[in-house]
Structure 1
C-alpha cells in the first residue's frame, strides 16, 4: 500500500483527511506520551509534577528553536514537490536536517550547563523541587537531538504526503515509554526507581527509538530521502529560503513559550502547587491543541503543494474543509472540559486540596477550545502560503497581551482564576482574527494556472 497521498488531485476532503487523520493520531500519541508521564509522576506527588512542569518548559521552548528548520524545510519541500522538482526538494530536506543537528547541539549544551539559572528563573520555593527540575532539564534537553530530528523528519514526510510513517514510529515510542515510565520512576526488581529522573530517561529513550524507526524508513524511501545528503554542503540560497520561511515561525514559538514561562513565574506567586495545576491542566488541554496542530500540519502541506502547483481554488476549498472539521473538534473538546473537569483532572493529581484549582482551570479554558483550533488550523494554512511573518505578528501581539491581562484579572476577586481567563480571552481573539486574515489573504490569490491557460487558449 502506498503510504503517500496525492494532495494535488482527487476529492479534497478525502485527500485532506487521509493525510490529516494519521497526523492527528500521531498528535494524540505524543499527547499520550505526556499524559503517561504525568499520570505516573502524579502518583509521586504534586511537588514532582511541579518539578517536571518547570523543567518541561524548556523542552517546550526547544520546539521554537527547531521550528525554524522544521517549518522552513516542510514548506519548501512541499513547494518543490508541488512543482515536480524532487532534486530541489531533497536539497531543502538536507538543509533542514543539517540545521536541526546544529541547533540540537547548541541548545543541548546551553541547557545542560545552564540548568541552575534557567530553573532559578521560576522562583520555586522548595529545594527538592528545584533540584528535580534541574535534573529533568539536563536529561531531556541535554539529549534533545532525538526530539529535533523526529520533528524535522515528520515535517518532511508530511510535506511528501506521508503521515502514516510518523504515526507508526510514534506508536512504537509510546509503547516503549509506557513500559519504561513505571519501571524507571518507581523501580522493578534490581532496577532502582529514579523518580523524576526516571521519567526523563524514559522519554529520551523512547524518542531515540522513534529516531531509529525514522532512519529505517528513510533508507527504504525512493521518492525523496534517497536523494538527501545530510553531510553535503547546501547552497546559501537554499538555506536562506528555509530561514525566510522558518524564522518567523521560530520567533513566534519562542516568544509564545517565553510568555508562558513569564506567566508560569507569575503563577508561582500563588504557590508551587499552582505550577502543578498549570502543568497538568495544560497537558489535559493538549487533547484539543495537539490534535489541531496535527491537522494544521496536514493543511500546511496540502496548501503548500497546491500553491506550488498554482491550484489556488483547491487551496481555498482545502482550508474551509479543514476549518469546519477543526471547529467541530474544538466544540467537542469544550464540552468535555466543561462537563467533566473533576473526573479528568482527578486522574493526574490525587491531593484533594489541589483538585478544585484544576477543575476551575479546565472549565475556564474550555470556553476557548474551538477558537484555539481555528487559530492553529489557519496558521497552518497561511504558513503553507508562505505567510509565516503575518502569523508571527498576530500571535506575538495577542499572546503577549496575556501578561497584562493576567496582571489585571488576577488583581481582582478572581485571583489565580484571572490568569486562566487571560489565556481564554486571548485565544478567542486570535481565533477570530486569524480566520478573518485568511479571508483577506485568500481573496488576493490569482486564478488557477490551469484555468488561466484554458482561458488564454480560447482567445
Structure 2
C-alpha cells in the first residue's frame, strides 16, 4: 500500500498513476481487440451496433461506477487520517450500496431494453445486434460494478498494482473468450458480451480473495457487517452526487448518439472509430485524474493542504503536454487509426473520421484540464461544482449536437463534445481556484 501523504507530490502521483495507466492500456487493448474481431469478422453493421450501445451502457453502468468512486473518496480520507475502524465501516457500507444499486439498475435495463434502444432512435438494421450484446452486458453488470468498486477500494488505500494485475488477467481472458465465442462458436455480438461478463466475474473473485488474505485493515468479522444510519447517509451524500454526475454526462452522450443515429450507419461507424481513439487519448488524462483524486483525498484526510496545490499544478503540466502530442499523432496518421477497426472502410468513413479527429484532437488539452481539475475537487469531497459542471456538459452537448445537425450536419454534431468540455471547465476551473485559496488559508492557520 502506498502512502500518498509523503514524498514529492508529482513523483508519488506519477508512481501511483503508472499502474492505472498500464491497466487502462490493457483494458483499451481488449476493447480494440474486441472491436477489431467484431469489425473484421462480423462486419461494419455489427461494429456500428456495439458502438451505438456505448452511451446507453455508460448511462446505466456508469451511474453505479460513479457511486463507487464517491465511496472510495471516503475510504481515502479515512486512510489518510489513519482511521482504520472507519475504513472498515466505509468498505462494508460501500459494498452494500454497490450490490443493491447495480442489481436494481440491471433489472431496469433488462426490462426496458427494447424501449431504451427505440428511444435512442437506433436504426432497425442495428437494433437486433444491440439487443443481443446488451442482454449479456446488463445481465452481468453487477460483476462489472463490483470489480470497479473493489479496484477503487484498493486504490483509495494506495494500492494501484493489484487492480492492474486483476485487469490484465481479465483482459487476456476476455480476448481468449472472444476468439472462442465469436470465431469458433459463432455467437456473434452476444459472444462478445458474454466474454466481457465472464472475465469481469473472474476479476471480482480474484480481488475479493486478495483483499481477504492480504489487506489486514479490511479483514471483516461478522460484527463488521452491521449497517448504521450515519454511515449510510454519509456514503449516500458523496456517492450519489458522483453517480448523478456520470448520469448527466451519459445523458448528453446518449443525446449525441440519438442525433448520430439520424445520420445513418456510416456516420455511426465513423463516430465509433473516433470514440475508440478518444479512449486512447483520454487514457493518461483519466488515470492522472483518478490519481489526483486519491492523492488529494489522502492528503486532505491527513490535513497536508500545501501538498494538494503543488500536486495539482504539476499534474496539469503533464496532461496538457500529453494531450498536445497525441493530437499531433492522431491528426497526422488519421487513416491508420481509421483502418484499425473495420476491414476495408469506405472512403466516406475515412472522410468523416478525419473530420472528427481534427475537431476533437485540437481540443484534447481542454479535456486534459477537465479530468485533473475535476479529480482535484472530488478528492476534497466537494460534489456541487462537479455536478454543476456535468449539467453544463449536458446542456452544451445537447444544444450543439441538435443545432449542428440542423445546420451543417455531421461536422456540427462532432463539435458537441469539445463544446461540452469547454462548458465544464468554465465551472470547474473557477471552483478549483476558490477551493485552492480556502486550503491555503487553512494551511496558514494550521502553521
TM bin (shorter chain): over 0.9
Structure 2 unmatched ranges of 5 or more = none
Question: Do 2:385 and 2:428's aligned partners in 1 also have CA atoms closer than 8 Å?
Answer: no
Mapped partners of 1:25, 1:13: distance in 2? 18
Aligned residue for 1:41?
Answer: 38
CA contact (8 A) 2:385 2:427 kept: no
Match in the other structure for 1:146: 143
Seen in structure 2, the aligned counterparts of structure 1 residues 132 and 409 have a Cα distance that, compared at 3 Å, is closer
Correspondence 1:171 to 2:171: no
1:231-266 CA-partner distances (Å, limit 9, x unpaired): 823211111111111222111110111111111111
Distance 1:360 1:354, change over 3 A: same
1:185 is aligned, of 182, 186, 211, to 182
User: Could you state the TM-score of these two structures normalised by the residue count of structure 2?
Assistant: 0.94
Summarize the Cα distance change of 1:111–1:331 in structure 2 as closer, same or farther, 3 Å threshold.
same
Count of aligned pairs: 444
- What SS does the corresponding residue of 2:439 show, helix, strand or coil? coil
The structure-2 alpha-carbon separation of the partners of 1:317 and 1:202, relative to structure 1 and needing over 3 Å to count, comes to: same
Residue aligning to 1:323: 316
Contact 1:322 1:377 in 2 (8 A): yes
Q: Is the 8 A contact 2:396 2:419 kept in 1?
A: no
CA change 1:223–1:298 in 2 (3 A) is farther
Aligned counterpart for 2:95 among listed residues 94, 97, 100: 97
The whole-number CA distance in structure 2 between the counterparts of 1:17 and 1:272 is 41
Residues 426, 72 of structure 1: alpha-carbon distance in 2 compared, 3 angstrom cutoff:
closer
**5+ unaligned residues in a row in structure 1: which ranges?**
none
Instruction: Look up the match of 1:226.
Output: 219
Q: What is the CA RMSD across the aligned residues, in angstroms?
A: 1.9
Is 2:88–2:224's contact at 8 Å kept on the other side of the alignment? no
Whether contact under 8 Å (1:306, 1:312) holds in the other structure is: yes
Deviation at residue 288 of structure 1 after TM alignment:
2.1
Question: 1:176-255 residue pairs with structure 2 within 5 A?
Answer: 176-187=173-184, 192-227=185-220, 232-255=225-248
Corresponding position: 1:290 with 2:286 = no
More helix by share: 2
Task: Pick from 8, 32, 54 the counterpart of residue 52 of structure 2.
Answer: 54
Which residue of structure 1 lines up, in the alignment, with residue 351 of structure 2? Answer: 356
Give, in angstroms, the shift of residue 452 of structure 1. Answer: 4.7
> After alignment, is 215-224 or 133-142 more displaced?
215-224
User: Could you list the per-position Cα deviations for residues 340-363 of structure 1 after superposition, in whole angstroms to 9, with x for gaps in the alignment?
Assistant: 111101111232242222222122
| Equivalent of residue 420 in structure 2, options 426, 430, 442 | 426
Change over 3 Å in CA distance of 1:291–1:230 after alignment to 2:
farther
Query: Counterpart in 2 of 1:379?
Result: 374
The answer on whether the counterparts of 1:259 and 1:400 sit within 8 Å (CA) in structure 2 is yes
Corresponding position of 2:132:
135
1:289 Cα offset (Å): 2.0
Structure-2 residue corresponding to 1:74: 72
Say if 1:56 and 1:137, in contact at 8 Å, map to a contact too: no
Checking the alignment, whether the CA contact within 8 Å between 1:72 and 1:96 is kept in structure 2 is no
Task: Provide TM-score, normalisation by structure 1.
Answer: 0.92
Q: Secondary structure at the match of 1:354?
A: helix
- Which residue of 2 is the match for residue 401 of structure 1? 396
Residue 73 of structure 1 and its aligned partner are, at CA, apart by 1.3
Alpha-carbon spacing, 1:254–1:305, altered in 2? closer, same or farther (3 Å): same
